[in-house]
C-alpha cells in the first residue's frame, strides 16, 4: 500500500533523543499505543502478538507502545488486552519483550484502567462518579477505591519492568479512567479528587509518584493526555494546559498529546477516515511553552514531510504514528532513509460506529499471523468478525479472572 518515490530531503527524524531519566530513543518515531486484540483472552500474550511487535521493531521504530495493558482484570477495555498482575505469565511476557526490542527498539506498556468504559460483558463499570445517562451507566468509586489506585499502578509497573518492558505510558486519555478523573463530565466529586483541575489531577500525580518509586529514577515513564475531550462539558484545552504545567513538576519523561474519547457516539481519533492532520500540533506548540518535558503528539501524521516539519519547527520532540504503522510497518525505515514513502489510506463505502477501528485491529491480527494485508473493506462484515472474536475471549477471561483474587 505504498506510494513510494525518492526524495533527496535529508531527514531530521533519525536524531536520537535522551529522555530526562537518561534512556535514549534512537530516532523520533513512535508506534503509538493500539489495542491489538492479540492477547490470549486471559491477559497474556500470544505468539502472534509477539510477532507483530517484532515486525514493528524490525521496521525501524524507536519506541513501540502496547495499548491498553490493564492494571486490573475487572476493568478492561477489551478481552484481548494484556493484564499485568499476580497471575501474569512471565515467560510469555519475556518472550514478547525480548523479541519486540530487537534493533534497539524500546517497548513500553500503556498502563490502563477503563473505569466507566470497562467492557460490559467482563466488568462492572466504575468511574470517578456514578453516572446514569441513557448512553452510559456506571457506579462511582469510593475513597478506598481511589486510594488503592497508586499501589495497583505501581504493582503493574514493577511487573512490566521485571518482564523486560523498557518503559511505561500512563493512559490518561480517550475517556478511560484517568481521563475520566480529568473530565468534569465524568468527575462530579466534591472531595479532594474532584472540583478544579488541581483536584481532578490529584490522583494522576499520586500514581506517577507511586510508579516512579516502584521503578526507580532511570526507567522511562510517559503519559498520554487529551488536549481536549471533544465533548461538551469535558476536559477543555485550558484545563489540559494547566494539567501539563503540573506534570512539568513531576518525573514524567514524555507527554503524548492526543484527544477525543470513546464515550458512546463521540468521535474518536482512531475511527476517522484519515481526513486532515496532524490534529494536535497547535496545542503542542502552546504546551511547549509550559514544560521542559519532551513532548510527543499522535494523530493524523500521514506524510514524512509532516513528521519532519513537526520536529524541525520544535512543535514536538517525538512523532506518534498509529494507523500508518499498520498500513506499512516498515515506514520508519523508509522515512529515515529519506524515501518519501507515504501509505495510502483505505476508503470505505460505509462507516458504521467502531468500524474503522475494527478494520485496523483486524489488520494488526493479520500482520501478527504473517498474512499481510488481509481484511475485507466491508466494514459491517469486519465488525461482526471482530465482535465474535471478542465474545469468544470474554468467556476465556471470565473463566480465568472471575474466581481470581
Ligand X SMILES: Cc1cc2nc3c(=O)[nH]c(=O)nc-3n(C[C@H](O)[C@H](O)[C@H](O)COP(=O)(O)O)c2cc1C
* Interacting residues toward ligand X by CB under 6 A: 32-35, 67-68, 110, 171, 173-174, 224, 258, 269-270, 298-301, 321-324, 357, 360-361
Q: What is the CA radius of gyration of the chain?
A: 20
Least Å distance, CB 259 to ligand X, is 8
Q: Given the complex with ligand X, which of 33 and 115 has the nearer CB atom?
A: 33
Least Å distance, CB 195 to ligand X, is 26
Gap between the Cα atoms of 207 and 116, Å rounded? 19
CA 371 to chain CA centroid, Å, is 24
**DSSP notation for 354-365:** THHHHHHHHHHH
Q: Given the complex with ligand X, which of 13 and 34 has the nearer CB atom?
A: 34
Residue nearest to ligand X (CB): 67
Grid cell at residue 314: 520544535
**DSSP notation for 65-121:** EEEEEES-GGG-S-TT-EE-STT--HHHHHHHHHHTTGGG-EEEEEEE--GGG--GG
Q: Is the distance from CB of 65 to CB of 169 less than 8 angstroms? A: yes
Grid cell at residue 136: 452510559
Q: Given the complex with ligand X, which of 11 and 270 has the nearer CB atom?
A: 270
Least Å distance, CB 298 to ligand X, is 4
Q: Given the complex with ligand X, which of 96 and 189 has the nearer CB atom?
A: 96
Least Å distance, CB 9 to ligand X, is 21
Max intra-chain CA distance, the chain: 60
CA 121 to chain CA centroid, Å, is 22
Least Å distance, CB 404 to ligand X, is 23
Q: Given the complex with ligand X, which of 194 and 237 has the nearer CB atom?
A: 237
Q: Given the complex with ligand X, which of 189 and 224 has the nearer CB atom?
A: 224
Least Å distance, CB 78 to ligand X, is 9
Q: How many CB atoms lie within 10 A of CB 266?
A: 18
Amino acid at each position: 500500500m505504498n506510494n513510494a518515490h525518492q526524495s533527496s530531503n535529508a531527514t531530521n527524524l533519525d536524531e536520537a533523543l535522551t529522555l530526562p531519566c537518561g534512556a535514549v530513543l534512537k530516532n523520533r518515531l513512535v508506534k503509538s499505543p493500539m489495542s491489538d486484540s492479540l492477547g490470549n483472552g486471559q491477559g497474556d500474550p500470544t505468539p502472534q502478538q509477539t510477532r507483530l511487535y517484532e515486525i514493528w521493531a524490525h521496521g525501524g521504530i524507536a519506541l513501540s507502545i502496547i495499548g491498553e495493558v490493564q492494571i486490573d482484570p475487572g476493568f478492561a477495555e477489551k478481552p484481548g488486552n494484556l493484564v499485568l498482575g499476580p497471575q501474569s505469565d512471565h515467560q510469555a511476557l519475556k518472550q514478547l519483550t525480548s523479541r519486540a526490542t530487537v534493533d534497539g527498539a524500546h517497548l513500553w506498556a500503556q498502563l490502563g484502567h477503563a473505569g466507566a468504559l470497562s467492557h460490559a460483558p467482563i466488568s462492572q463499570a466504575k468511574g470517578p462518579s456514578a453516572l446514569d445517562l441513557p448512553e452510559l451507566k456506571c457506579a462511582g468509586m469510593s475513597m478506598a477505591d481511589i486510594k488503592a489506585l497508586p499501589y495497583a499502578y505501581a504493582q503493574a509497573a514493577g511487573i512490566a519492568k521485571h518482564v523486560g518492558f523498557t518503559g511505561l505510558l500512563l493512559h490518561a486519555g480517550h475517556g478511560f479512567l484517568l481521563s475520566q478523573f480529568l473530565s468534569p463530565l465524568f468527575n462530579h466529586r466534591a472531595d479532594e479528587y474532584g472540583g478544579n483541575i488541581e483536584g481532578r489531577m490529584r490522583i494522576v500525580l499520586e500514581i506517577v509518584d507511586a510508579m516512579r518509586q516502584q521503578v526507580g529514577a532511570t526507567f522511562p515513564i510517559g503519559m498520554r493526555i487529551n488536549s481536549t475531550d471533544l465533548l461538551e462539558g469535558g476536559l477543555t484545552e485550558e484545563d489540559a494546559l494547566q494539567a501539563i504545567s503540573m506534570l512539568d513538576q513531576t518525573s514524567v519523561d514524555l507527554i503524548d498529546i492526543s484527544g477525543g474519547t470513546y464515550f458512546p457516539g463521540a468521535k474518536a481519533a482512531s475511527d476517522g477516515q484519515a481526513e486532515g492532520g496532524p490534529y494536535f500540533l497547535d496545542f503542542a506548540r502552546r504546551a511547549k511553552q509550559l514544560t521542559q518535558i519532551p513532548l510527543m503528539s499522535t494523530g493524523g501524521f500521514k506524510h514524512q514531510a509532516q513528521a519532519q516539519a513537526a520536529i524541525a519547527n520544535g512543535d514536538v520532540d517525538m512523532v506518534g504514528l498509529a494507523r500508518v504503522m499498520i498500513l506499512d510497518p516498515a515506514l520508519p525505515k523508509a522515512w529515515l532513509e529519506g524515501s518519501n514513502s507515504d501509505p495510502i489510506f483505505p476508503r470505505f463505502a460505509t462507516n458504521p460506529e467502531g468500524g474503522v477501528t475494527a478494520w485496523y485491529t483486524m489488520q494488526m491480527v493479520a500482520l501478527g499471523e504473517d498474512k499481510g494485508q488481509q481484511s475485507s473493506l466491508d466494514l459491517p462484515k469486519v465488525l461482526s468478525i471482530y465482535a465474535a472474536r471478542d465474545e469468544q475471549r470474554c468467556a476465556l477471561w471470565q473463566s480465568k479472572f472471575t474466581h481470581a483474587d
